[in-house]
Structure 1
């Protein structure tokens, strides 16, 4: 026991030393941690009895204090003082800001941004200074802002990118002037235009690359790349191209069409893009069964079904469905049925690739148009925009009609942008239609050159205003002169006469010829005439007109007794009433690849004046595309008959078929006076021609705008009131010709080169193997 106690006694000092050492270690460790931690300073408050401001010249001290939000005698923390500094900086008025606490005194020292003296653009050639000035927000005599100048530089770069100059750079710089003024200079490096060297498609089986390129707004660089700007690469244009490509396929029944991707790749020289559209066409669907149904007692489905023009077997198109819905809803309005909606119910038949369409005629919600608000029309009168709506305040609201009205407003061409939206009105059953437009220039002054085989080289001056005095009226004056003629024309059109869907026009013409087409006489014509044009159907138009003219035939130096007798009358006054009916499906027809034009008109002279006659003209034309829309076929049949009721017709009134049958010179076919040495052309009172034509690609890139064609013309001109006792042959003698054509679409207009050979002709006819004209296609 003693030994154990003694051992224990000997161990106690050791344990105490260990315990003391542990406490000391803990204390030292805690001290080290405490010393290593960051020390929090005591918050410092400021209280200023005076605030002084230095360096301000244009900005008052009170304004600076209002930005800072500092009041005398108010306690401020260091954080609040820093907030005051940031508020002054954020005002954008000062280049430098300094806040210095000095005891009870606060010093605010500022340096104001300079005033812009002038703005210059350097290095720009593709975009003019005036156009760039419209882009930038910085202005002379305003305070210079670096942030605004940088934003202006970015806007200029975006404008160059829209023009295909993707490498353009803009650097804003300032030049210090006296009195704290600066000159702001935008240094521009335009770079080269990045063109589209190749535009191709992957996945197209039914339409060639050449056909699809014609659809897109973006074009491949071609022969006239210096004049055509649509061959530059603009990224924003790609989305539009994808949409028009989709619309192209949908209108041809390819309801599953997709643009899978669009890849753009720079060439090795990095000066052009290779653009590729990866598409999936799918299958083309036709219309199947077409039906109309309704659960409404006041609706007779058969009556609405009879108004549908769609037939089974026609190529499916969403546009045709939309047009049919609009037609049925208009029929319901005419029958006095309000709030009628037509819902298309489509059933897909993959086995026979058809789509059955059931038009369900249902009752829509009872919503009325409260009002139509129009804004942004600084020049155009409200009524011009408002008459594009078939709906007025208080009418039932029809979303489809509002969309169609928006399209009609855009089609006017008076506005650069036109947005039409509907929002809830003062109650849930009322809507307000907001129309926001932005005006654009509608007048133009043009100078041009022309050439034709009949008139030779000529010049033209044209002035037109499509929105005269903001009333939506069209005013046009033109002066055209050729080698032997001059024509001045003034025309005026009011598209909504007396607030109706009737167009009123007035034309005045003064024309003179000086031995045109080797004739041996001169002519002078002065005419005025009003007319009214109004629709009869969706594609039909009727024009009624009155013409009062004075025609003079004088200075005849030839040997024809027939023309000499006609020239002896010198001046005749014609007063005539007439009409023309036209039926045109070239726009908005059932088939996007085909169209027809029918025109029939008559003029009855004798309502006063010196002449009495009935003139009848007719035209029937058709066009269609075949072989995957690569080849365009056209056919035209035209005729005219001038029937004199009193006296004989004159050479200035008869037909000569100039330009109507190719392969013959102007006045080169038809009845002639054999008693004259030159066989003077007399023309005829009747004519009939048939023209057949095919246009096709010739293997050149589509961007060159060059295509080829072949044609065949048949016809004749005959019948005279005076044949000089049977000396003149005025019988129906058929003429015909064949030939080839080269079509060239240029920035100055579509040109046509004809190479023709007369196959059937008379001995006295004059041939012409080559002709260059401005192309007028169907």
Structure 2
């Protein structure tokens, strides 16, 4: 029996022998390396072989070896590496032959042409614009590999992560090659589901509406935002953070975003893991000044923040802007307003103290603009309230950057600052990437009022790079045709003053009335801000309107002719009105500080009588409010709209008076309510109308990607007062006669436009009214 110990003892001499042998070999190798490295070469001559395009002197410069210089074997190897690093040669050999050093090279070929095969989603021009390889340049395998990665990433940005790209070369004469990128585009890898973990205050459905990325839905072949793009998900994280912070969740954070593929690897699953935190409100609001000239009480009166209001960083920024503007009015430069926030976790309040102090004396040296090839510099520059030489205000620079992005002229825009020629100077760098701003569109529309219609328009939002709007459009439906022209200059006379000109031509026929009309309208206007959210528009309107081709004869049976009132009005023929008007509007839906509530107010009047054939005052008004409830899933809207027409001479015509259609008062035909001729049943319109509309929009138990939501509404109102009498004409409902309608709506958001289906029931109506229990509206552009 042999034990483990005796076996180890038996093999011990052999182990020792192997150890001694290994040490001996290591010593020999070390000595050999030392001898090789110590070997010196001197060359009286250097011969370069194999080069065709590249001069021998250039190759010797890369090598860095001169005649008669003593060099070691290691230095020869370094010289070969330097030649290879130039990227010009496929292979390099450095061979010492006595007193001659032979450098033998094989040059990379020249690219004859570049071709792409298998690409359909991206054109050859698109791909050629993003790769680094170029025809008539030296071919580099490393550059070709980089180009392969660039093309693959371009397809990944379109959601085709399975795309593969293979570079191949085809040898040609004279050391030239054709570089061919063989592309397999693969299919779309869509986003199958976007979900959230940790959200309790807002539903997944509501948070998905915040994101730029969308789930793949019914129209996945049309919608471009349902593919996974890493940069877009990064942007979504910022959108999500801004959404929560503006609603008082100051501790909100996205802990991580999990992006994974389905088992079949044909779709992405995106999960946002969030921590909402608690909702805070504003507490004590104070102002403290470190500048003797500042009256703290005066500045405190300018602050709009109030205790108990939900915390919103935008409200703080707005108050800082007010205080800084006041400081400039007081002749104080380099004033810095710093908000200092103190938390009260028990009361869930944030106390804000605005500290007014002297900031560093830094001036704007200049504003550099790059990347704009079409847009004029002045269009970008006028978004800055700061000019060269002004005190530097970081908040104003950030606001200017937001205004530049809001123009919609640029795909990318970056505004950065850097130190200027001295420490007290700042240079503002604006780098933009332009995008198309013009459009040629063809569209179709359908409504129960006007029937099927078609439209075409040509629009340019940045005409000649001047930031001007130019639009020409034509539309036609079963009962009307319209031609319009519009031009607008948003910075008239170098100020925040919008100058616009509109020209329109409209005709209607007997499809929905017993008469034809023709209208030509010309209207220039000026619009300017009068408050933070308010604007005032001043306009002049010159309008020529004709009423003709009244159906039947005056003596015909009432069943076969129009109302006698319409005949009388048609006798006036073509009438011209010349009017001055204004409209004041207030809209805080975009700039309001309560993200869950929006208010719109409009009040306008037109005074006709500056020449022309008519003298009247037309007044219209609208007040609307919108509020999100139940975590933003339900939207409530209330609208009050009305108008009145007062003629100072003569009387109004049917073409002047108000009619209530399906958009203003749902549940009735166009002209289906209001004053009517008792004999002919003609709708005559009214000089006054008023309507209240209440509406809610809420989610339906359907997948989000279907884009379907529901609604309920209630309308109450009327139109009345024809303003004339005739003994042989009986006018029905000439006094205020209310109508009421309830209904349900289905909203369907599609890539070709929003659809709305209304199902209505008239609660209050009159015998001669023309009600409608269903209508559909679609507006599409393609």
Aligned pairs for 1:549-628 within 5 A? 549-557=543-551, 558-628=561-631
Matched, 1:716 2:711: no
> What is the CA deviation profile of residues 634-687 of structure 1, one whole-angstrom value per residue up to 9, with x for unaligned ones?
0000001111111121212211111211111112111122232xx121111111
1:315 pairs with 2:322: no
Deviation at 1:106, TM superposition (A): 4.2
**Aligned pair 1:530/2:532, yes or no?**
no
Moved more, 732-741 or 261-270: 261-270
Name the structure 1 match of 2:41. 45
2:604·2:621 contact (CA, 8 Å) conserved in 1? yes
The DSSP-based 3-state class of the residue aligned with 1:290 is strand
Q: Which stretch shows the higher mean deviation, 361-370 or 685-694?
A: 361-370
Structure 2 Cα separation of the partners of residues 551 and 268 of structure 1: 67
Q: Which runs of 5+ in 2 are unaligned?
A: 1-20, 552-560
CA deviation string 1:516-568 (max 9, x = no partner):
5x212222222211111111110110000011121122222243221112222
* Counterparts of 1:236 and 1:395, CA distance in 2: 36
Structure 2 counterpart of 1:20: none
* Contact 2:42–2:67, Cα closer than 8 Å, also in 1: no
Residues 196 and 37 (structure 1), Cα distance of their counterparts in 2 relative to 1, 3 Å cut: closer
Q: Which residue of 1 aligns with 2:136?
A: 141
Q: Is the 8 A contact 1:743 1:775 kept in 2?
A: no
Matched, 1:417 2:420: no
State the alpha-carbon separation in 1 of the partners of residues 303 and 474 from structure 2: 47
Does the aligned pair in 2 maintain the 1:48–1:103 contact within 8 Å?
A: no
User: Paired residue for 1:546?
Assistant: 540
Please give the alpha-carbon distance, in whole angstroms, between the structure 1 residues aligned to 2:27 and 2:195: 73
Deviation string 1:578-622 (CA, Å, 9 cap, x unpaired) is 000011111121210001111000001111111111100000000
Q: Deviations over 1:177-207 (max 9, x none)?
A: 3333322221222233222222222221111
1:127-182 C-alpha deviation (Å, 9 max, x unpaired): 33332222222223332221111111101111122222222221111122333332
Per-residue Cα deviation, 1:98-146 (whole angstroms, up to 9, x for no partner): 3444444444433332232332222333333332222222223332221
- In the alignment, what sits opposite 1:284? 279
1:167-566 to 2 correspondences below 5 Å: 167-516=162-511, 518-557=512-551, 558-566=561-569
Are residues 734 and 448 of structure 1, via their aligned partners in 2, closer, same or farther at CA, if it must alter by over 3 Å?
A: same
Aligned pairs (5 A) from 1:123-162: 123-162=118-157
Q: What residue is the counterpart of 2:665 in the other structure?
A: 661
Q: Which of 753, 757, 766 does residue 757 from structure 2 map onto?
A: 753
1:696 paired to 2:690: no
- Cα deviations across residues 17-52 of structure 1 (Å, max 9, x unaligned)? xxxxxxxxxxx9999997676331451313133534
Measured in 2, the distance between the counterparts of 1:143 and 1:549 equals: 69
Query: In the comparison of the two structures, how many residue pairs are matched?
Result: 745
Distance 1:294 1:570, change over 3 A: same
2:50 paired residue among 54, 74, 93: 54
The 1:30/1:311 distance shift into structure 2, 3 A limit, reads closer
Give distance in 1, aligned partners of 2:707 and 2:329: 47
Query: Whole-Å Cα distance in 1 between the matches of residues 248 and 29 of structure 2?
Result: 78
**Would the aligned equivalents of 2:342 and 2:351 in 1 still touch at CA under 8 Å?**
yes
Query: Which range is displaced more, 47-56 or 343-352?
Result: 47-56
C-alpha distance in structure 2 between counterparts of 1:271 and 1:472, whole Å:
43
Q: Cα offset for 1:75?
A: 4.8
Kept in 2, the 8 Å contact 1:214–1:702? The answer is: no
Q: State whether residues 375 and 437 of structure 1, in contact with CA within 8 Å, keep that contact through their aligned partners in structure 2.
A: yes
409-418 or 703-712, larger mean C-alpha shift: 409-418
Contact 2:214–2:226 under 8 Å retained in 1 = yes
1:281 Cα deviation after fit: 1.3
Shift of 1:738: 0.7
1:198-228 deviation line (CA, Å, top 9, x unaligned):
2222221111111112112222232222222
Q: Residue in 1 aligned with 2:11?
A: none
**Aligned equivalent of 1:25:** none
Partner of 2:5: none
- Cα 1:67–1:575 change in 2 (3 A) is same
Equivalent pair of 2:643/2:689 in contact (CA under 8 Å): yes
Q: Distance in 1 between matches of 2:29 and 2:704?
A: 79
Partner Cα separation in structure 2 for residue 88 and residue 189 of structure 1: 36
SS of 1:150 mapped into structure 2: helix
Mapped partners of 1:115, 1:33: distance in 2: 47
1:106-125 aligned within 5 A:
106-125=101-120
Is the contact between residue 444 and residue 779 of structure 2 (CA under 8 Å) also seen in structure 1? no
The more displaced of 404-413 and 360-369 is 360-369
Paired residues of 1:261 and 1:277 also in contact (CA < 8 A) = yes
Higher-Rg structure is 1
CA RMSD, 1 decimal? 2.3
8 Å CA contact retained: 2:528, 2:536 = yes
Which secondary structure state, in structure 1, belongs to the residue aligned with residue 321 of structure 2? helix
**Counterpart-to-counterpart distance in 1, 2:456 and 2:65:** 70
Retained in 2: the 8 A contact 1:456–1:482?
A: yes
Asked if structure 1 preserves the Cα contact closer than 8 Å seen for 2:43 and 2:101, the reply is no
The 1:218–1:33 alpha-carbon spacing in structure 2 relative to 1, beyond 3 Å, is closer
How far is 1:71 from its partner?
4.3
- The 2-side partners of 1:703 and 1:30 are apart by 73
Aligned to 1:630: 633
Matched-pair contact (CA < 8 Å) for 1:46–1:77: no
Aligned partners of 1:37 and 1:158: how far apart in 2?
49
1:10 alignment counterpart: none
User: What TM-score do you get using the length of structure 1 for normalisation?
Assistant: 0.92
Q: Distance in 2 between matches of 1:582 and 1:691?
A: 19
Bigger drift between 596-605 and 457-466 goes to 457-466
1:662-714 CA distance string (max 9 Å, x none) = 111112111122232xx121111111111000100011122221100000111
Residue 5 of structure 1 corresponds to which residue in structure 2? none
Is 1:737 aligned to residue 730 of structure 2?
A: no
C-alpha distance in 1 between matches for 2:30 and 2:676: 119
